[in-house]
Structures are given as C-alpha cells and as structure tokens.
Amino acid sequence: DIQMTQSPSSLSASVGDRVTITCRASQSISRNLNWYQQKPGKAPELLIYAASTLENGVPSRFAGSGSGTDFTLTISGLQPEDFANYYCQQSYNIPVTFGGGTKVEIK
C-alpha cells in the first residue's frame, strides 16, 4: 500500500495568514493527489484534484502543487470558514489511501 504522510498534524494560524500543508507519498504517484476539507460533523469536500486543479466553486485562495512524492496545499489569506481538517488522498493505486489529516485551528 502507498503510505501518505501529512504534516503538520495540526497548526494554529490567524485570519489572513498564509498556511502550507504538506503531503508525502511513500512512492511516486505522479500527480494523482487530491485534497479535501472536512468541518466537524460534516462529510469531507473536494478542494483540489490532480495535484493542482481547483474543484468548481472552491475559492482561489486554495492552491495545490507538487508531483511524484511531494505535494503541498497552500491557503493564501486564511478565512474564518477555513478552520477545518484537511486530508490528502492518493488515487494512483489501489487501495486508495489518505493522509492522517491536518487540523487548522484559530490562533
């Protein structure tokens, strides 16, 4: 199985900050990397697919980059509604695997 390692597991930030979350795959997954946001008690929502393509309706302050084994999710100008958990997911190989998650909290 491909292991997905996210870091940090949690972070504290203020509104307006630039935040970066990283995701590392245990082997190359090309650009088959997706990002989700999950708020408490809700289902996850797709933010970015294929490493850098923004899902319809997702604000442009979210950006994804990377290929191979190393990927990043950047939020430029953190908004109050962005405080949530974020997960990466590889869709390169079966079984599909997710990162352990990053909790973005208010400082």
Partner 1 sequence: QVYLVQSGPEVKKPGASVKVSCKASGYSLTNYGISWVRQAPGQGLEWLGWLSVSNALTYYAPKVQGRVSMTTDTSTSTAYMELRSLRSGDTAVYYCVRSLNSGSTLGDAYDVWGQGTMVTVSS
Q: How far is the CB of 15 from partner 1 (least distance, A)?
A: 26
| Segment lying near partner 1 (by CB under 8 A), choices 15-23, 38-46, 66-74, 75-83 | 38-46
Q: Is 74 exposed, middle or buried (0-12, 13-18, 19+ CB in 10 A)?
A: middle
- By CB under 8 A, tell whether 71 contacts partner 1: no
Cβ within 8 Å of residue 105, ≥6 positions away: 10, 11, 12, 13, 83
Q: Which of 11, 22, 44, 61 binds partner 1 (CB under 8 A)?
A: 44
Conformation bin of residue 26: beta by default, left when phi > 0, alpha when psi is -120 to 50: alpha
Task: Please say which residue, 8 or 77, places its beta carbon nearer to partner 1.
Answer: 8
**Residue 57 near partner 1 by CB under 8 A:** no
